[in-house]
Structure 1
Amino acid sequence: MNEELISRVGHHLRSWVTGRPLDGDAATVVLEDPAGLDALLGSDAAGPGTLVLVPGAEHRRDERTGATVVGYEGSLSGAEGDASVDDVLFLQIQDYGVSPYMSLLGTTLVRMSGDTDFELFLADADAARAEGRFASFAVSPAVQLADVSALGARVPGDGPGTRLYVGRDGGVSVSPQGLRLGTVGDSAAGLRAEWERLEAAGEVPGAVPLGAAVPESLRGPAVRERPWLARYLAVLDVLRELQARGVTEPRVSGFGHRLVPELDAAEEALDVDDAEAPILCWTPEQAYVRVPGPGRTFQLGRRAAEITELVLVLGAAGALARHPERAEVERVLKFFAEKGVRVLEVTA
């Protein structure tokens, strides 16, 4: 397998695991059994931008659809085990509940395989929100949580146009833990219609990807009662990135801590539930601000970081009114405006 295809498979696997779409018409389909391949390729659910992962298959381009077929070994469907592609890409799979006790030997997919896993995820999220304590495995650069739209993340584009899973019985969903959307060979329009019907029946978005493992009667209310889960999941991404850069155990603004202690008592902080607001982290030596979109991270000095937190919590007008040095606040606002960080450009 050449380097270009290796890179492409890696990107597709990440998209399939999380539900986050790739650019253009790219989609990913994982078959648990090669018996379903002909039916899939005979439908319009696979096209030129589709990468199809099939147990034991030879790598090839399908002439009918233009889809790329790639073989893999192991299993991508279970809550534990491992899978590999060409002895080049390796993926370890485990459920959330055992993850604190397992060694991370490489890229690790963590799934919610049932109620207990989901409740443990919620307990960890609550502890991070209230006390700033993050589960150590969850912030490891090796870990990727699966089906994040079902966990409260906002993932525009998740659905059958982005990812599909075909089980041994021919049933089709977007993930091994997902509600059934149809049977392999069904049209893309039919799968999309069933996705939309099931999503509309859920209490909050994300009903399909975990619906076969976690009942909506548990998931829906839990996510609705925690509108900050999308921000929590974004924070986990930031902490993984920082740890990969050697920055360990930073504190995170709004998660048990504020850099400016007086802001602990701020009512209706603007960044509390906003998954798109910049995320401020700091260590005793350095502060970091991660902004949404393309995922840019800026290093700041302590004073600039404190002003940034004022803006995130109070808005620009509130920060200008609160800080004794108006010129310093304006310099910070100008810095981020020049970087295109519009969320900080609140009318003063």
Structure 2
Amino acid sequence: MGDTKRRLMQWATGQAGDALPERVATIVLENPGHLAAIIESGLAGPESVIFVPGGPGDAEGPTIVGYDGSLSEAGAEMSISEAFFLQTQDYGTSEYMSVIGPSTVRIFGEEDFELYLSDADRAADEGVFPAFLTHPTVRIADLPGLGAGPGPDGPRLRLHARADGALSTSPTGLPLGKVGDDLPVLRAEWDRINAGGEHPCAVCLGEAVPEERRAAELAARPWLGRYLTAIAGLQDLHARGAADVRVSGFGGRLVPGLEGVAGPADLAGPDLPLLLWTEHAAYIHQPVHQLGPARTFEVEHRAGQLAEALLVCGSVEAAAEHDDPAGLATVAGFFSKAGVLLT
């Protein structure tokens, strides 16, 4: 069940921290009658997982997982036997819903998108993050369309087959083809839609938010990828029982003197490590990336201050204008050996 849940979350979020199989990693069907055509088209291989309404059916090669309910309707719940339940909520009402188990929060329309942007702006200005988004069992769907960047997303990572046979990467995505099309056809259409776009992915939210609006709002907020990374870091710490967690770069810094650094390096990309802190400790969060899963390291405040200077300034030399060069080199070297680059 663990691998099944992991695949389902990769399908929902559009992110993966491990290598993709040769064919489509995860496929969700709304119509069980499409299973045979999906397999015959060559989309699914031995390492693929296909979620099918009702029973698992008959198929050789891919893993077939039967489910009840829906993964594409706001307010709906899907279940796999009696072992796993997943709720789907629209962003606009999620603030008022009680989190009782694993949930995905989706952007179903422009109103949801506007609320998402408003929450992100408040976090950037005041350091206040929506409580429902930082709950450990909640995941935001379609992260590549919300500022996280494309990463491994695309039809090789995930597909959703609607009841009418249209194929996309997401329930709110632009159609890439139809049931029966092979992976090269779907990939070519995904590439065509994203060609020339400065803010991919233009597919996964294409039927929920007009692309011109989405691209303009993301261009005005180049730090949205970091916002999403911060949410993931907060979820990790909340799962460990941490409370009153602050995030560097959102409403302040652990070292106040770093707030005036122009063009801070740690806001340059969503894959960069992130500093968080509480009254008692500091944390370095390495987000999920193509080479591995997310990791979080706990350190004392002093080490956190040095790490923050490295993250903000981008190099030991530049950070030396704000802190002890020997200490900076030591902290940078320690994390480098752990596979985390602070500069």
Q: TM-score, normalised by structure 1?
A: 0.92
CA contact 2:316–2:325 (8 Å) conserved in 1? no
Alpha-carbon separation, structure 2, partners of 1:29 and 1:120? 29
- Deviation at residue 236 of structure 1 after TM alignment: 0.6
The reply on whether 1:95 has 2:90 as its aligned counterpart is yes
CA contact 1:203–1:221 (8 Å) conserved in 2? no
- Deviation at residue 29 of structure 1 after TM alignment: 0.7
Partner of residue 162 from structure 1, selected from 152, 157, 163: 157
- Deviation at residue 58 of structure 1 after TM alignment: 2.7
The reply on whether 1:327 has 2:326 as its aligned counterpart is yes
The reply on whether 1:210 has 2:209 as its aligned counterpart is no
Partner of residue 27 from structure 1, selected from 25, 28, 41: 25
- Deviation at residue 333 of structure 1 after TM alignment: 2.6
CA contact 2:332–2:341 (8 Å) conserved in 1? no
CA contact 1:59–1:68 (8 Å) conserved in 2? no
Give the residue type in structure 1 aligned to 2:331: V
SS in 2 for 1:224: helix
- Deviation at residue 226 of structure 1 after TM alignment: 1.2
Instruction: Return closer, same or farther for 1:174/1:330 CA change in 2, 3 Å cut-off.
Output: closer
Please list the CA deviations of residues 203-231 of structure 1 after superposition, one character each: whole Å capped at 9, or x if unmatched: 52110001011110211111122111111
The reply on whether 1:254 has 2:249 as its aligned counterpart is yes
Alpha-carbon separation, structure 1, partners of 2:333 and 2:3? 38
- Deviation at residue 289 of structure 1 after TM alignment: 1.0
- Deviation at residue 339 of structure 1 after TM alignment: 2.2
Alpha-carbon separation, structure 1, partners of 2:322 and 2:100? 48
CA contact 1:75–1:81 (8 Å) conserved in 2? yes
Give the residue type in structure 2 aligned to 1:48: P
The corresponding residue for 2:187 is: 192
Alpha-carbon separation, structure 2, partners of 1:93 and 1:34? 20
The answer to which structure, 1 or 2, has the higher relative contact order (CA under 8 A, 6+ apart) is 2
SS in 1 for 2:283: strand
Partner of residue 101 from structure 2, selected from 93, 106, 119: 106
The corresponding residue for 2:310 is: 311
SS in 1 for 2:105: strand
Alpha-carbon separation, structure 2, partners of 1:337 and 1:179? 41
Alpha-carbon separation, structure 2, partners of 1:299 and 1:237? 16
Q: Which has the larger radius of gyration?
A: 1
SS in 2 for 1:235: helix
Alpha-carbon separation, structure 1, partners of 2:252 and 2:321? 22
- Deviation at residue 321 of structure 1 after TM alignment: 3.0
SS in 2 for 1:83: strand
Alpha-carbon separation, structure 1, partners of 2:50 and 2:72? 14
Alpha-carbon separation, structure 1, partners of 2:157 and 2:330? 42
Structure 1 alignment gaps of length 5 or more: 1-5
Alpha-carbon separation, structure 2, partners of 1:156 and 1:18? 11
Alpha-carbon separation, structure 2, partners of 1:51 and 1:231? 30
The reply on whether 1:173 has 2:172 as its aligned counterpart is no
Partner of residue 226 from structure 1, selected from 221, 227, 233: 221
CA contact 2:119–2:130 (8 Å) conserved in 1? yes
- Deviation at residue 342 of structure 1 after TM alignment: 2.9
Deviates more, 1:198-207 or 1:47-56: 198-207
Give the residue type in structure 2 aligned to 1:44: G
Equivalences for 1:113-128 in 2 at 5 Å? 113-128=108-123
Structure 2 alignment gaps of length 5 or more: none
The reply on whether 1:240 has 2:235 as its aligned counterpart is yes
Please list the CA deviations of residues 34-56 of structure 1 after superposition, one character each: whole Å capped at 9, or x if unmatched: 12112112211122121111110
SS in 1 for 2:11: helix
Alpha-carbon separation, structure 2, partners of 1:268 and 1:291? 21
The corresponding residue for 2:275 is: 280
SS in 2 for 1:135: coil
Instruction: Return closer, same or farther for 1:338/1:42 CA change in 2, 3 Å cut-off.
Output: closer
Task: Output the aligned Cα RMSD.
Answer: 1.6
Give the residue type in structure 2 aligned to 1:322: H
- Deviation at residue 306 of structure 1 after TM alignment: 1.3
Please list the CA deviations of residues 164-186 of structure 1 after superposition, one character each: whole Å capped at 9, or x if unmatched: 11111111111110001111011
The corresponding residue for 1:3 is: none
Equivalences for 1:79-94 in 2 at 5 Å? 79-94=74-89
- Deviation at residue 59 of structure 1 after TM alignment: 6.0
